[in-house]
Amino acid sequence: MWKKNILETIGNTPMIQLNKITKDLPCTVLAKVEYFNPGNSIKDRMALKMLEVAEKEGRIQPGGTIIECTSGNTGMGLALAACVKGYKCIFTTTDKQSKEKFDILKAVGAEVIVCPTNVEPEDPRSYYSVARRLAREIPNSFHVNQYDNLANRDAHYETTGPEIWEQTEGKITHLVVATGTGGTIVGTGKFLKEKNPDIQIWAVDPFGSLLKKYHDTGTLDASEVYPYISEGIGEDFIPQNYDMSVIDHFEKVTDKDGALMARRISKEEGIFVGYSAGNALKGILQLKDRLKKDDLVVVIFHDHGSRYVGKVYNDQWMMERGFMDVKTVKDIVNSRP
Ligand code: PMP
């Protein structure tokens, strides 16, 4: 038996119990480890779904060009699908993202355009605006728009949600997700709540993102928006994939705590995760008092640590941001094996 192409390996990722970092919690925590997808992230699921829907609706023709704003993971999923299906890819991204992510996208045949981070979304230089302009200018192109394309959350309603329900034999009590476009938490959460409305859906948001404030108060408060370091999560606008009624609670986690926790997950559990997995697990630890003995918490680990070796996993990078104490030269020399 074999797979007909790489896209058939998307989904059905393992769920792995956490044993060390969570030992002071009263309950069991299971990680849905999404780096087992072929593009090493959960975004393979929605990338494939968004393309399948676009093909069905006749919005992209053979040989066409896929255009998207992506920090890397969605781009990887789209690029893999584009290889198999015969499309070109152009991605716009921001200068905040890891260089490793751009290089990986180029390795699988995509063109990457890097845009400034600290400009308004409406600014013609923003990665949103550049993608929109390219979509207007390039014939037979399809602007995927993962933020407002509802096939994003549908992918998780159709795959991630049912997998978690089956893997926990319906015993899940809490789903915890570090959230960006909202696709993962809304799609997965909606499916699970339909199965059991008592399941708590908790979102984790970085400081500098306006998602929590919008969820809690319904207001779009510009003072909430400022630059932050966490990658792939938080927003400065509300993507259409959000249905805030699915989310019971939003928890803020600092960039520093998320980064330190990602490093602990890799070192203590042997699961080499990306940055946002740290944010998500830190969120659970912050909410310890709300958890009980028989709870079964599922946390999504969105992607793989290899994309962060120059950042979260680089001591110098961590020290420059005040995330780790500045070591003396002697300490660094002594720490070498
Ligand atoms: N973590 C990482 C590393 C991501 O790339 C993303 C996607 N932006 C998320 C979390 C958040 O997922 P979603 O966009 O489905 O909310």
Average pLDDT per block of 10 residues along the chain, 337 residues long? 97 98 98 98 98 96 93 92 97 82 90 91 90 94 96 98 98 98 98 98 98 97 92 95 98 98 98 98 98 98 94 95 80 61
Maximum distance among all Cα pairs of the chain, rounded to whole angstroms: 63
Q: What is the pLDDT of residue 337?
A: 52
Ligand 1 centre distance from Cα of residue 217 (Å): 23
User: Ligand 1 in contact with 93 (CB < 6 A)?
Assistant: no
Shortest-distance atom of ligand 1 to CA 275: 3
Shortest-distance atom of ligand 1 to CA 184: 15
Q: Which contacts (CB < 8 Å, 24+ apart) does range 128-137 have? A: 128/69, 128/92, 130/92, 131/67, 131/68, 131/69, 131/92, 134/67, 134/90, 134/92, 135/67
Q: For the residues of 184-239, what is the DSSP string, one character each?
A: HHHHHHHHHHHH-TT-EEEEEEETT-SHHHHHHHS---GGG------SS---SS--
Ligand 1 centre distance from Cα of residue 166 (Å): 23
Shortest-distance atom of ligand 1 to CA 72: 5
Q: Cβ atoms within 10 A of the Cβ of 13, count? A: 23
Q: What is the pLDDT of residue 329?
A: 59
Q: What is the pLDDT of residue 333?
A: 64
Q: What is the pLDDT of residue 160?
A: 99
Shortest-distance atom of ligand 1 to CA 152: 15
Reduce the DSSP state of residue 113 to 3 states and report it: strand
Active-site residue list: 43
Q: Cβ atoms within 10 A of the Cβ of 65, count? A: 19
ipTM reported for the complex surpasses 0.90: yes
Ligand 1 atom 6, closest CA = 232
Best residue among 37, 40, 179, 306 to mutate for probing ligand 1, ranked by most atoms within 8 Å of CB: 179
Ligand 1 centre distance from Cα of residue 41 (Å): 9
Ligand 1 atom 3, closest CA = 232
Tokens representing 52?
């399948």
pTM of the model: 0.94
User: Ligand 1 in contact with 302 (CB < 6 A)?
Assistant: yes
User: Ligand 1 in contact with 179 (CB < 6 A)?
Assistant: yes
User: Ligand 1 in contact with 206 (CB < 6 A)?
Assistant: no
